[in-house]
Structure 1
């Protein structure tokens, strides 16, 4: 017996963090990415659930971080079927790259976040005392919308190195980018620092730092909202799964910010 269905709007909002119209936009995006390979007339074993319910299952997995054994009875299918749906549809939820790179008039914020993971073969112990991946995230300063998510790197990699290696630097285009003091040598706008032997900064530099902090805090606000999807608190996926989980959460975060 199936407990959770896509037709129950109240459950959709509770288990995905998206309003019904936002969830339908997510379903359409998955359908565009998957195309005919997700259709009911495709060759091979038929899907046990409709496309809407498959997308609901993956979104619910990201939101609640329930295990496959816990999700299976809620959808009336086997744990193996849940695993197949997650592995096949999960990468289709990722944030689509922008058609154009940001221009000079745009202001972006870049910051790294640590996503704890169980994959000890790829990622390493980091400053949160857990095996984590370093994900560089680009955020539009005006809207708090996530523009891009970099490729995952070991959690002990510093941000100035991860910014270039993850591909985030290429995604910035010609935009003005600001960040905290961990991005030295990258050409990004950072807070002013005291020089050797300097007791305090001049007043104009303190004012610049204060305004810089107010804008940069929007990235932290975005991270707090994104980590309402609990998969970013303890990701059990291996390898590239950490990337698609974070990018999928960024996609749903953007949809949740929209008024549709």
Structure 2
């Protein structure tokens, strides 16, 4: 990956962004002191190659030993680059396309397999997984916010209540699926034993499903980054990765 600044194909292939979008990402990382802390040995790789290295790691989920020969540095350096830059690529709030009272948001959780037993738990997908709650703008499909991961055994409703995301949705209509009953979100009409849906409720549910499916499309695009299919990082590694992938997902949609 040496000389990545001159090779636009590397940038567009491994980040999903055009060169100008990648340039804005570099600018944001530089503004967050991504160049360094002002002390110690300088980085061997320039900032552009370090950001690309993190993008390749999230996109392909290669091990650090596999990435080291590609970047021309040691596995230990690859680890330090990922630990340093991962949190600097965090998601910025999506810009509102409409007034808050007119916006429509969708919330859903996705299970991400993890290796860290302190982050995940054996959940319904028969793997150790973490539950990540994500808010998506229904009109633009941009990721508005993502909560910190919780063990996969925690129900969506409880994960939503404990995430703090509800505070960011004050005065805004938010859709959820049937797992978010009694949370204040707009959920489908529920069928009960011996009580069929009333006239018009099935049509309401169909319209609800059609809109809410957009969050599933967002999850599908985000999981093109294979790191979100099998997280080997410990601690805050998954949280930083979700934030970073969401940050790259948004510019790709607004290109």
Q: Same fold by TM-score, threshold 0.5 exceeded?
A: yes
Match of 1:138 among 129, 135, 149: 135
1:196 corresponds in structure 2 to 193
1:211 and 2:207 correspond: yes
The TM-score, its normalising length taken from structure 1, stands at 0.92
Task: Name 2:146's counterpart in structure 1.
Answer: 149
In 1, the alpha carbon distance for the partners of 2:130 and 2:81 equals: 24
* TM-score (norm: length of structure 2): 0.94
Question: 1:146-173: CA deviations, max 9, x gaps?
Answer: 0000111000000000001122212222
Give 5+ residue unaligned stretches, structure 2: none
CA distance in 2, matches of 1:88, 1:172: 31
Contact 1:4 1:74 in 2 (8 A): no
Q: Which residue of 1 aligns with 2:103?
A: 106
Q: How many residues align?
A: 253
Counterparts of 1:67-86 in structure 2 under 5 Å?
Answer: 67-86=63-82
Q: Distance in 2 between matches of 1:203 and 1:224?
A: 34
> What CA distance in whole angstroms lies between the structure 2 residues aligned with 1:4 and 1:129?
43
Q: Offset at 1:3? A: 4.7
In 1, Cα distance between equivalents of 2:83 and 2:245: 16
Question: Deviations 1:173-193 (Å, cap 9, x if unpaired)?
Answer: 221000100001101000011
Structure 1 residues 4, 129: CA separation in 2 closer, same or farther (over 3 Å shift)? farther
Give the Cα–Cα distance (whole angstroms) in 1 for the partners of residues 190 and 143 of structure 2.
28
Structure 1 stretches of at least 4 aligned residues deviating more than 4 Å after TM superposition: none
> RMSD of the alignment, in Å?
1.7
Would the aligned equivalents of 2:108 and 2:135 in 1 still touch at CA under 8 Å? yes
Which structure 1 segments of 5+ residues have no match?
none
CA contact (8 A) 2:115 2:128 kept: yes
1:229 maps to what in 2? 225
Would the alpha carbon gap of residues 11 and 45 (structure 1) be closer, same or farther in structure 2, given more than 3 Å must change? Answer: same
The corresponding residue for 1:65 is 61
1:15 CA displacement: 1.5
